[in-house]
Amino acid sequence: MAPAFRELMGALANELSDWASAADALEDAVADLADARSLSSKQVEAVQSLDSLSQHLHQLSQLFRDLGSGSGVRDTDAAADIGRAVARLNLGGLGARLAASPHSARDVVPGEVDLW
């Protein structure tokens, strides 16, 4: 795997990790504010979507980190590395979407936030 590719994947992983941490901090701040008042169910869903956002960002960060650390010497190695990295994803069908295996609407859990 080319060093430039590894460097790019690492930089993307770090960027997404930073944004995930920012989303975590925002979620904590909003939750603290929410404790002081009662929220409607729609407001609660909005707060919960922050948690989903940070989880997805953490997962994407890990994906890029995995892709950057793979062997990928030959095309077949790269394909195997990508398959292993995507298989680790587990949020809301994210892995299936990235592997180009769309899930049906009935696979979506009610209340689940789908960012794609």
Where is average pLDDT lowest: 3-7, 70-74, 101-105?
Answer: 101-105
- pLDDT-derived band of residue 34, with 50, 70 and 90 as boundaries? confident
User: Residue 59 corresponds to which amino acid?
Assistant: Q
- Mean pLDDT on 88-92: 69
pLDDT of residue 18: 95
pLDDT of residue 11: 94
Average model confidence (pLDDT) for the chain? 77
C-alpha distance from residue 98 to each of 31, 36, 86, 90, 93 (Å): 31, 39, 7, 11, 9
DSSP annotation string for 13-79: HHHHHHHHHHHHHHHHHHHHHHHTS---HHHHHHHHHHHHHHHHHHHHHHHHHHHHHS--SSHHHHH
Please, are residues 15 and 87 in contact by the beta-carbon 8 Å criterion? Answer: no
- pLDDT-derived band of residue 2, with 50, 70 and 90 as boundaries? confident
pLDDT of residue 67: 85
Count of positions (residues) in the chain = 116
Angstrom distance (rounded) from CA 114 to CA 23: 16
